[in-house]
Each structure stands twice: as structure tokens, then as C-alpha cells.
Amino acid sequence: MRSDERQGRILGVLKDSRRAVSGSSLAKPFGVSRQVIVSDMAALRARGLDIISTNKGYLLNEEPPCNRIFKLRHTDEQVGEELETIVDCGGSVRNVFVNHKMYGRLTADMNISSRRQIADYLDDIKYGKSTPLKNVTSGYHYHTVSAKSEEQLDMIERELRKKGLIVE
């Protein structure tokens, strides 16, 4: 079975389910590994579907989210404040990207929508697993943020602006 066909069938399973569907239960009927399912989920998300990963499996959020790109600049010490502001206002940080003069646009998926995920991200930075992408462009960076409504995105923008994190 081709991957696009499998992804279509996976999408059907998610649409028909009212509960989270585990990666294992998706993998078994298609005769693939859970890692293949993880890749399929990434491909479905790249097509704009809002698939939520939980500890019980995958859920399809059928309400299409609203997205907005914010241009930001801040110090390393303000990373947590920035992310908490976004998730506390109901947003989800989909990615971070920078426009590097030599390498062009560099993008990394984040998919942060909770304080627990923020804490994990900050721990990874603290213990040297990585550094924020913004550091390659003197703190300037962009986030694609999704929320359930334009009003929530407006609130996120107001709060980030109040804290001096938005770049005009």
C-alpha cells in the first residue's frame, strides 16, 4: 500500500473515532511499524490537518485552527515567558523559523501547546541538548502560532506586545 493511500485510511480512522487512537492500533492493520505511523502523522500535519498527540494516541481536531506568524526578538532568559504567554492565551507554537543571510530560511517544528512541553523544551536547552534557533540571527525569529479563533490570536499579539517581544 502506498503511503498516501495509508494516510487517507488513517485519516478516516481518526475521523470516525471519538477517542484517541494509539499508534500501535493504527500500525497493525497496515502491517507497518509505529515509527511509520509517526511519519504518516507528520505528513498529515504538513497538509494542514490538526492532529493532536496524546499519551493515549492520536486525535483529529476537526475545527481548523487559525494561524498567524509573529516576528519576535528577545533574550534567552525570555524564551519561557514568550512561550508561556502564547500557550496561556490558548495558542500553540507550531514552529520557529529565521531568515539567515547565508543559509536562507531555517525552520524547526515545535508543536508546543502546554506548560509541560515548555518545561521540557527549556530543560533541553538548559542541559545543552540544543540552543534556540533565534541565536543565529541576533534574537530575531518568527513563530507560526495556531489558535481556535482570530480573537485568541489578537489576544496573544496584545500580550506579546505588552511584554515588548513583538518586532514591528
Per the prediction, the chain carries an average pLDDT of 91
The neighbour count for residue 91, using CB atoms within 10 Å, is 29
Q: Which long-range contacts (CB under 8 A, 24 or more apart) does 113-120 make?
A: 113/87, 114/87, 115/84, 115/87, 115/88, 117/87, 118/80, 118/83, 118/84, 118/87
> What is the pLDDT at residue 63?
67
Length of the chain, in residues: 168
**3-state DSSP call for residue 138?**
coil
| Structure confidence by residue, pLDDT tens digits, 117-161 | 999 999 999 988 778 989 899 999 999 999 989 999 999 999 999
CB of 26 closer than 8 Å to CB of 13: yes
Overall CATH class of domain 66-162: alpha beta
User: What is the architecture, at CATH level 2, of domain 3-61?
Assistant: Orthogonal Bundle (1.10)
| Structure confidence by residue, pLDDT tens digits, 33-79 | 999 999 999 988 887 788 988 888 999 987 667 899 999 999 999 99
| Structure confidence by residue, pLDDT tens digits, 4-28 | 899 999 999 998 888 899 999 999 9
Q: Which residues of 59-82 are buried (b: 16+ CB within 10 A; e: fewer)?
A: bbeeeebbebebebbbeeebbeeb
Where are the domains positioned within the chain?
Answer: 3-61, 66-162
Q: Burial of 11 by CB count in 10 Å (0-12 exposed, 13-18 middle, 19+ buried)?
A: middle
- Cell 493511500 belongs to residue: 5
| Structure confidence by residue, pLDDT tens digits, 94-113 | 999 999 999 999 999 898 98
C-alpha R_g of the chain: 18
> What is the pLDDT at residue 25?
94
